[in-house]
Amino acid sequence: MTRARAFPDRRAAGLHLGEQLRRHEWHDPLVLGLARGGVVVAHAVAEALDAPLDVAVARKIGAPGQPEFGVGAVTARGDATYDARTLRALRLRPADLRESCEAEQAEARRREQVYLHGREPRPRAGRDVVLVDDGLATGVTARAAAHAIREERPRSLVFAAPVCVPEAATGLKADVDEVMCLLAPDDLRAIGEWYQDFAQTSDDEVVELLGSEPE
């Protein structure tokens, strides 16, 4: 596959990913899509595995003055996860990012409430959980989500994405039981380069996809 031609869109990527994941043996599987774009991929994976779908929300914590440069991430509850090497390189401490962390955690709680529509998250304990995103770049949001999921004692936790930065995929293996990437190109610069259509996923689309799941 060539760059910008690998996947037509997130759903098509999810169908390819689902075919690979079907080769595993699963115990009471649950598919979690990392909001927002990961939910589209995860919806197709859940169909392939005949498994329920739910959402995982993690928010990137940006460097001071560079909000798009993620130095860590946080979920709706619990402590933030930081990239230690990045903090050292920028001479930052977690305390320096407390205000940003609190703001992102509040946004994570808000989005979770919107996506779940007042219901409780599907239970993770004792299940094989598949955490899905549309790509893995730095890995900070995936790590934060994985840490939060681990707190709920799943039987196993697998991270899966259509395309991954090799270094990030290797680093994430310490936080999950398995990392599955369809593509891990050494020259990956941006996840969107590997999709023909990488339009931003809306909150409404996430709600619709989650609402289409059977109880």
What string of pLDDT tens digits covers the 215 residues of the chain?
A: 445 468 999 999 999 999 999 999 999 999 999 999 999 999 999 999 999 999 999 999 998 888 878 899 999 998 999 988 889 999 999 999 999 999 999 999 999 999 998 899 999 999 999 999 999 998 999 999 999 999 999 999 999 999 999 999 999 999 999 999 999 999 888 899 999 999 999 999 999 999 865 44
- pTM, two decimal places: 0.92
Q: If DSSP codes are grouped into helix, strand and coil, which group holds residue 174? A: coil
| The CATH number of the domain covering residues in 10-57+121-211 | 3.40.50.2020
CB 111 within 8 A of CB 100: no
- The partner residues of 136 in beta bridges, in order of sequence, read 164
Q: How many CB atoms lie within 10 A of CB 5?
A: 11
Q: Which one, of 188, 190, 128, lies nearest residue 159 by Cα? A: 128
Query: Could you give the C-alpha distances from 143 to 11, 21, 22, 157, 204, in angstroms and in order?
Result: 23, 20, 24, 12, 25
CB 158 within 8 A of CB 141: no
Q: In what order do the strands lie in the sheet with 30-34?
A: 53-56, 30-34, 128-132, 156-163, 178-183
Domains in the chain: boundaries: 10-57+121-211
Q: Is 210 exposed, middle or buried (0-12, 13-18, 19+ CB in 10 A)?
A: buried
CB 152 within 8 A of CB 182: no
Q: Is 37 exposed, middle or buried (0-12, 13-18, 19+ CB in 10 A)?
A: buried
